[in-house]
Structure 1
C-alpha cells in the first residue's frame, strides 16, 4: 500500500511532469528497493548563514556569504507571513502528515486548468526535504540528483518527509522551511528577504509584503519583482486571492492588498557580499587572509573559506573608524588616485599590536587608476604587494643595537661627506661581508657628530661606521625581534655593508609595528587585526590573540626614544612635522635612486609609517613623478612622505591622552657636548 501510494503521489506531486505510464514499466520490487534503501531518519544540514566582519566600534565592515541568510525563530515571523506561505504552498499543512494526497490532487486539477503552476503539489515538509538535499549537495552531480525530475527523487523526498514529520513538530518544520527558502535576489530566509525588499524585519511584514514573498519561493528568479514587476504582481495577487478563498483574510483586506504597490524600488536594500564591496576593502582582504590561516576554522583553506561564508561568524577586528578616517583624510589631502606614484599609511597601537588604520592612494578595483594590491602588507597575504626598501628608517635599529652594546648617545665619530668602505669587513651572524666598490656619501650634515646629532641629520657616514662597530648581526637581530624581515621572500633581512641605510623590502605595517615597539618600551606585539571570532551560537572560536613579549630592555627602548625624539626637534629632519606638545619620535628614509621615501614616527599612543613610492615596473625615480597631481621636484622622507604622516597622526591622536616617554639612564645619554679637551668616550666592550 505504501509503495503504491508513494509512486502515485510522486507522479502527482511532480505536477504530472512524468507520465503516469512511466510507472507501468517499474517493477514493484525495484520501487520497494528504492524505499527500503533510504534511512529512517533525515539529517538536515544547518543552513548556510552569512558572516559579518565588524570594526572595533561594532560597525559593519563587510558581509561574507554563499547564501545571504539570517535565521529567525518562528515567533519572530509575522503571523500573516506564515499564513501566506501555508495558503499558497500547503493549505492543509497542519492537518495532514508528510503527504497531502487530497491537496496534491487538487493542485493537479487547478494547475492543469489554469495553464500554469499556481499551487504546489508537494507538501511544505517535502519541499523542506528537497531544499535540504540541495543545501547538502557539494558537487554539481549531487545538486542535479537533488533536483532531477524522477519518481526516485519524489519517493526519496516522501520517505525523508515521513522521517522529518516524526522528528519535528509542524511549527519546527515551518520555521526551518521559512529560514531555508530562496526568496530571490540572493536572499535566503524570510528575515533577509524582509530586509532586502522592504527594509523591515520578518515580524513586521504586512499582508501585501507577505504575499509577495510567499509567491516568490515557487520561482525565485521569475517572480523576483526586480526582474519582472508585472509577473511578480500577478503572482502576489494569486497568493492574496488564495488567502481570501481559504478565509484567512477578509474581502476588505484582500482589496487593500491588491491595490498596494508591489515594491518601492527606492527601499530595496542590497546586502553587499565580500571584501570588494567593503568600506575598507584592502583591510578586509587582510583580515580574511588571517582568518583563512586559522586552523580552528577548518582543516584546509577550502574548508575555512566555506565555513567563513556559511558559518554565521561574528568577526571583530582592530580597525578604529575614527583613526581610519584620519588616515584616509590625509591620503585624500596629499595624494590622488591618478598620481603616477602611490602613497600608503598604516597606524598601529603600541603595546598591543592592534592595527588601527590601513589606507592607500589607489582605490580597490580593476579599473583605471585602481588596484588589487595592498601596499601596506607582505606578499604572503592576499593582494599583498610586498613592500619597498626602507632607507634610513633602518638606522633606528642600528641605534638600538649600539645602545644595547653600551655605546652611549654622545659617542662621536668623524663623519666626512664621503668615506671609503671598499673591501671593509663587516661582521655578520655567519661570518664577514665586504663590498669591493662601496664609497658612500652623505646627503646631509657631515662632521664630528654624536649619535643624537647624526640621527637628527640622518648622516649616512656616521651610521655606516657605527654599524661596523656594532656588527651587522646585532642590527639584524634587533630588527628581527621587532618583526622586520623581507616582505617579499619572508627571509631575514640581508646583512650587507649598507644594511643601516636600508635593506630588503619592508611594509608600512611592519615598520609602524617595529617602531611601536620602541614606544612600548621594548615590548613587541605581533600585528593583530582579528580580535575575536564567535560562531552563530555565540561561542568563541580559537585564534591568535594578543601576542606580546619584551624583546628589548626598557632602558634601550627609552634610549632610542630619546634619540629619535631629537629628530622631531627644530633642525632635525622631522622637525617641521612636529605638532602639539606630545612626546614623539621619528625617522626619515630615502632609498637609492629615490624609488621610495618614508617617514615613520610615533608617540606613546600610536605609531605610523607612511611611504610614497613607484609601484609600477619598470620602477623609476620619484623625481618628476606626480603626487597630489603635482610633480615631485625633491623627493625626501620628510618633505614627501612626512606630510602624509603628520596629518594622519594629528587626526588619529585627537582626543587621546597626552603620554610621555620615560627618560633613559644618564650613563646611556652621556654628555652630548663634551668640552674640546675631553676625550671622546669609548664604547663599552661587548661579548
Structure 2
C-alpha cells in the first residue's frame, strides 16, 4: 500500500509520538518501551533510526478459510490456518462497530494515527494501578501490528513483528500514518474487524458470530457484540469456552464503557448485563481439515491432488499455505447420493472389526469423475481404524497402493484379442491344467517364460469360445489366448486405460501369468479402466477436483476432464458384449445381475486367495470392489480372516466381493436413465454357435468330448 498527499505531515506526528514516549517513559499499545530505550542513544542515532523507517506498508490479503464442496454443493471440509470469513462493514451490525470502538479506541473517529490524549490517559492509569490496565494503541496501530504479524512467514519474522523495541513501535506508527492517509476510518475499521482474533480459533467478526452465537455479523445484539469486543484484549483469557465467569466480567466492562460514553442507554445496559453470556451447548464448532470431514479418505485424496497443481503455488508448501489461507471454493466430483449407496453396501457386507478389508470406488464413464470412494476401516488412529486409503495409489501419502487384481485382468486380454482380429467365437481346447513350463510369452522387449508354471482352472474346462471362457473365467483358455496375442498388446491396452503398479508407479509386469492378475492395482484404477469399456473406448483420467475459485470468485486452472479415444469403439463394444455374458445365468457374475439394464463385469481371485475382486459396469457407472488382507505379510483369506463378522470359508470374486459391488451399484444407478451397450460388428462376434474346426472334429471310434463342467476352486478365477 502506498501513501498519498506526502504522508499528511507524518513527520510532525512522529515527533509528537517520540515526545510523548520520552515524557512518559512508555509507548502506546502495551506501553512497554521504557524511556531507557532512548536514554542510551544519542540524538543522531535516534534521527538516523527515524530516517531509516519504512514509508510504505504492503498489506497482504488476510488469511481466509477455504471450503471443499461435493458435486451437489454441500460442504465436505473446511481448511484454514485462521478461521475467517471477511465481510464488508455494511454487513457488520452498528452495535458491534460501536462496541469495538468504545473499548479499544473511543476517539477513533476524532484523532489521527496516534491518539495523544488516549496515550497519556492510559499512561497515567497504568502508573496509578502499577501494571498495564489500559492500552494506548489506536485501532489503526493495532491493525498495522496485526497486519505485520499476518505477513510473517517464519518464527524470526513473527518475533520481529512483536518485539518490544522502540524501533518496532516507531515503524508501526509510521505505517499507521500511511494507512490513515490512504484509507478512510470506516475502511480501517472494516479491515480491523475482519483481521482481529476473537478467540477459540475464530478470526474476524463474521466467523466469531457464527462460532459463538450461530448468527451473522449483521445480526449481532448488544450483549453479543460486547462479548466479542471484550475478547480482543485477551482472546484466550476471555474466551467464554475457557472461563465463563471471566468472560462475563470482561463483557460487562465493555457494556459499562459503552454506557459511560453515551453509546447506549441505562435501560439497554441493564438489559444487556442481565443477559446470559453464551449458551455453550450451541457453540458451533468449525472442523478444520480432512480428518473432520464426512468423507475423510476422499477429502485427503482431493487435497493430495490439489498439492500437485502448480496454479496454486510454486512448491507443495506454498500450495498448502494457499489452500488454507486463500479463501478458495473447491468443487469436487463426489456425488453424496452415490457415496451413500456405496457406504450402505460397505455397512451391509462388512464390519470395521473384520480382519479383511473391503473397498469400493465408483467412476462415471466418459468423464472420469470419481463419484464415490468408500472402505470398511474408518479414518483414524484408534483400534480398527486406519489412515490408509485402500482405493488409491501409494504415490499419494495415504494411499495403500492396491492389490493384485486376479482375473479382472482378462478383460484386457479380451480387448487385445479383439484388436488383433480374433473373434469372440474363437475356440481353444482348455483343459483343467496346462503345462506352461518354459513356454515363451512375447513381451514388448523380447520373451518371458516361467520354468515351473503349471496353472489350473478354478471353474470350467473344455473346448471353449472366448465368450464361454469369460463366463466361466477359464484360466487355461486365457493363458493360451495371451500366448497368441502376446503380452505386449495386453500391457499396452492396460496402460492406455490407466493401469499401472499402484505401489511403484511402474508399468504392470509382463509375466506368463499376466492375464490371471498382476499387481498391484487399486479399485480406482480398475473401476476407471472398466469405465473406458463402458464409454466405448474413451478413456478419461480419474478426476476429483472439478473447479477451483479464489476469494474473488476468479477461476483457477486445474486438470479438468481429460479424455481421449484409447480403444477403437468396436473393440470396446466387443469387450462389453463378452463381459455382459459374465452377468448372465451360469456366468460367474450371473447372481449379481439385477434389473433389466445392460451390465457387464468380471470376477477376480488371486493366487492363494490373498484378495478377491468384482469389477463391473453399466453404460452409466463403473465400480470395482475388493476384499483383501491388508496386513504384511499377506495371508490367505480362507485362514483366520473375517468379513462382516464371519469367517471367510471360500473367498471368490463373485461370492465375496460381488455382493459389495451389487449393493453399491444397485443403489448408485437408481434414478439414472437406462442406456444400452452398442452391438459390435458381426465379424467380431463370429458364429454365435460355431462348430469345432476340422482339426477338432470327433474322430471315428473315439469318445465324444465331455461337456464343460464345474471344477473346484483350486486356482485364480
Answer whether TM exceeds 0.5 for this pair. yes
The 8 Å contact of residues 427 and 692 in structure 2, kept in 1 or not, is answered as no
Matching of residue 385 in structure 1 with residue 393 in structure 2: no
In structure 1, distance between residues paired with 2:123 and 2:592: 80
Whole-Å separation in 2 of the counterparts to 1:614 and 1:677: 44
Query: What whole-Å deviation, never above 9, does each CA across 1:92-124 have from its counterpart, x for those lacking one?
Result: 101100000001112233344456655431000
How many residue pairs are counted as aligned between the two chains? 681
Give me the whole-angstrom Cα distance separating, in 2, the residues matched to 1:651 and 1:445: 32
Q: What's the secondary structure of 1:418's corresponding residue?
A: coil
Give the secondary structure class of the aligned counterpart of 1:414.
Answer: strand
Partner of 1:71: 86
Match for residue 465 of structure 2? 450
Matched, 1:649 2:670: no
Match of 2:17 among 6, 17, 30: 6
Structure 2 partner of 1:306: 321
- CA–CA separation in structure 1 for the residues paired with 2:285 and 2:121: 38
Residues of 1 paired with 2:62 and 2:124: CA distance? 34
Q: Distance in 2 between matches of 1:22 and 1:431?
A: 81
Q: Which of 62, 70, 73 does residue 58 from structure 1 map onto?
A: 73
Among candidates 311, 324, 346, match of residue 361 of structure 2: 346
SS in 2 for 1:343: strand
Question: Map of 1:530-569 to 2, 5 A cutoff?
Answer: 530-569=545-584
Task: Output the CA distance in 2 between the equivalents of 1:66 and 1:25.
Answer: 41
Distance 1:680 1:205 in 2: 88
Change (3 A) 1:115 1:207: farther
Partner of 1:364: 379
Shift of 1:29: 2.1
Alignment of 1:199-214 (within 5 A): 199-214=214-229
Alignment pair present for 1:186 and 2:201: yes
Contact residue 118 and residue 238 of structure 1 kept, 8 A: no
What's the counterpart of residue 37 of structure 1?
52
Query: What are the Cα deviations for residues 237-283 of structure 1, in whole angstroms up to 9, with x where unaligned?
Result: 11100000000000000001111111101110011110111110100
Give distance in 2, aligned partners of 1:123 and 1:269.
Answer: 32
Q: Is the 8 A contact 2:535 2:619 kept in 1?
A: yes
Conserved in 2, the CA contact under 8 Å of 1:183 and 1:193?
Answer: yes
Q: Which residue of 2 aligns with 1:25?
A: 40
- Secondary structure of 1:13's counterpart equals coil
Report what 2:110 is aligned to: 95
- Does the CA-based 8 Å contact 1:285-1:382 persist in structure 2? no
Distance in 2 (alpha carbons) for counterparts of 1:143 and 1:606: 52
Q: Which of the numbers 624, 629, 639 marks the counterpart of 2:655? A: 639
Q: For 1:636 and 1:564, how far apart are their aligned partners in 2?
A: 18
Q: Cα gap change, 1:114/1:498 in structure 2, threshold over 3 Å: closer, same or farther?
A: same
- Structure 1 counterpart of 2:5: none
Superposed, 1:413-492 pairs within 5 Å as 413-492=428-507
Question: Residues of 2 paired with 1:294 and 1:21: CA distance?
Answer: 53
TM-score by length of 2: 0.93
> Where in structure 2 are the equivalents of 1:149-168 lying within 5 Å?
149-168=164-183
Alpha-carbon distance in structure 2 between the residues aligned to 1:2 and 1:210: 32
TM-score (norm 1): 0.97
Using the TM superposition, give the Cα deviation of residue 39 of structure 1 relative to its aligned residue in structure 2, in angstroms: 2.4
Query: Matches of residues 238-637 of structure 1 in structure 2 within 5 Å?
Result: 238-624=253-639, 625-637=641-653
| Residues in 1 aligned to 2:369 and 2:14: alpha-carbon distance in whole angstroms | 64
1:667 positional shift? 0.8
Residue number in structure 2 paired with 1:685: none
Rounded to whole Å, the distance in 1 between the matches of 2:482 and 2:317 is 47
- Using the TM superposition, give the Cα deviation of residue 26 of structure 1 relative to its aligned residue in structure 2, in angstroms: 2.6
Which of 213, 216, 231 is the aligned partner of 1:216? 231
Partner secondary structure for residue 429 of structure 1: coil
Tell me the distance in 1 between the aligned counterparts of 2:522 and 2:30: 63
Which residue in the other structure is 2:702 paired with?
A: none
Distance 1:81 1:114, change over 3 A: farther
Q: Work out whether residues 524 and 548 of structure 1, in 8 Å CA contact, stay in contact via their aligned partners in 2.
A: yes
Contact 2:29 2:135 in 1 (8 A): no
Tell me the secondary structure at the aligned position of residue 617 of structure 1.
coil
Q: What's the offset of the Cα at 1:679?
A: 7.0
1:674 matches 2:690: yes
Q: Distance in 2 between matches of 1:274 and 1:163?
A: 37
Does the 8 A contact of 1:427 with 1:473 survive in 2?
Answer: yes
SS in 1 for 2:631: coil
Structure 1 residue runs without a partner (length 5+): 682-687
- Give yes or no for contact 1:124–1:177 (8 Å, CA) kept in 2: yes
Structure 1 residue 149: Cα displacement: 1.7
Partners of 1:622 and 1:231 lie apart in 2 by: 59
SS of the equivalent of 2:398 reads: coil
Q: Answer whether contact 1:7 1:23 (CA < 8 A) is retained.
A: no
Matched, 1:235 2:250: yes
Measured on the aligned residues, the alpha-carbon RMSD in Å equals: 1.4
Write the distance in 1 (CA, Å) between the matches of 2:259 and 2:485.
90
2:142 aligns to what?
Answer: 127
Quick check: 1:125–1:165 contact (8 Å CA) kept in 2? yes
Q: Is this contact kept in 2: 1:14–1:121, CA < 8 A?
A: yes
Check whether the contact 1:412–1:680 (CA below 8 A) recurs between aligned residues.
no
**Distance (whole Å) between structure 1 residues aligned to residue 230 and residue 315 of structure 2:** 40
Which is worse superposed, 669-678 or 489-498?
Answer: 669-678
Query: Cα distance 1:9–1:475, how it changes in 2: closer, same or farther (>3 A)?
Result: farther
For residue 675 of structure 1, report the CA deviation from its aligned partner. Answer: 3.6
Note if contact 1:3-1:32 (Cα within 8 Å) is conserved in structure 2.
Answer: no
Q: Output the CA distance in 1 between the equivalents of 2:501 and 2:569.
A: 26
Distance apart, 1:151 and its partner CA? 1.6
Kindly state the Cα deviation for residue 172 of structure 1 after the two structures are TM-superposed. Answer: 0.6
Task: Report the CA distance between 1:673 and its aligned residue.
Answer: 1.8
Distance in 1, Cα, partners of 2:186 & 2:321: 30
Structure 1 residues 483-492 or 666-675, which shifts more?
Answer: 666-675
Choose which of 73, 79, 100 in structure 2 pairs with 1:85: 100
